[in-house]
Amino acid sequence: GQLEEVSMPLFFGWFLCPAFQDKLRSMAKDFLKTLQGLEAFKEHLSDFTGEAEKEVDLEQYFQDKGMLHCTTKFCDYGKADGSKEYAEQQIVKDRYGSMSELKLSTLVLTPRTLGARVSLTEDQLRLWPAGVEKEGAPEADLPPGSRAHITLGCAEGVEPVQTGLDLLELVLLQQQGQEGERAQDLDLGSLAYYGKGVWVLSLHEPGLAPACFCSYYG
């Protein structure tokens, strides 16, 4: 009926608790500060500026996209394929409003986006929609959950949907056996460069972020 259509959200996902949002934001800030001071980063600066000589302030370069979350299903108020089917699943109804911990293993920075990769548990994967990896990387065959992420910032003019697409590209490279060029060990983790401005920080200690599974209406 009409009410049902009205009730379809922009997206479903896990929403980080406010205290952990602050923690993650300040961790990202530290990372950006450290990264832009590294010689290795400066060598590849043209990936970001288009010019080798120009300086870049990464904290300004990446714009905050609001409340930190990990999208499961993007519904676009019911306009996106499979929204209704997703929302009607028993597991989605059962878990709605429940808390779990998101495991953050990696920070991924590209000239377009800054994001945290989320490693979903078996149980969390039950809320992961089918086909979103294929949708983002049609030519690849990536395991469910490969696209799970938290967008931490986007370059000017870039939409947050790009963070998941950038992550899929990285996961594909890793699936093909690329490990990146080991750049440096930082306090937070070990840093690798994958070319074309893609920097990956594997955290020494994965972060555990308490989050609530629900939906966002905008």
Asked if 15 interacts with ligand ACK (CB under 6 A), we say no
Whole-angstrom distance, CA of residue 101 vs CA of residue 34: 27
Is 83 a binder of ligand ACK (CB under 6 A)? no
Window 36-75: contact mask with ligand ACK (x via CB under 6 A): -----------------------------------x--x-
Rule CB under 6 A: is residue 11 a binding residue for ligand ACK? yes
Nearer to ligand ACK, 66 or 210 (CB): 66
Q: Are strands 69-74 and 113-119 parallel, antiparallel or unpaired?
A: unpaired
On the 0-12 / 13-18 / 19+ scale of CB atoms within 10 A, 124 is buried
Interacting residue with ligand ACK among 72, 106, 163, 215 (CB under 6 A):
163
The tokens for 97 are: 């409003």
14 lies in the site for ligand ACK, by CB under 6 A: no
Q: For residues 132-151, which are near ligand ACK according to CB under 6 A?
A: 151
Residue 165 or 186 with smaller CB distance to ligand ACK: 165
Annotated catalytic, 44?
A: no
Give 100 or 163: the residue with its C-beta nearer to ligand ACK. 163
Among the candidate windows 41-49, 122-130, 137-145, 156-164, which touches ligand ACK by CB under 6 A?
156-164
- Closer of 40 and 82 to ligand ACK (Cβ): 82
Strand partners, 119: 103
* Per-residue H/E/C for 50-64: CCCCCCCCHHHHCEC
Q: Phi and psi at residue 101, in whole multiples of 5°?
A: -105, 130
Longest Cα–Cα distance of the chain, Å, equals 59
Residue 69 is among the residues annotated as catalytic for this protein: yes
Shortest gap between Cβ of 90 and ligand ACK (angstroms)? 23
Q: Using H for helix, E for strand and C for coil, what is the string for 47-110?
A: HHHCCCCCCCCHHHHCECCCCCEEEEEECHHHCCCCHHHHHHCHHHHHHCCCEEEEEEEEEEEC
Binding site for ligand ACK (CB under 6 A): 10-11, 71, 74, 151, 160-161, 163-164
The catalytic residues are 69, 149
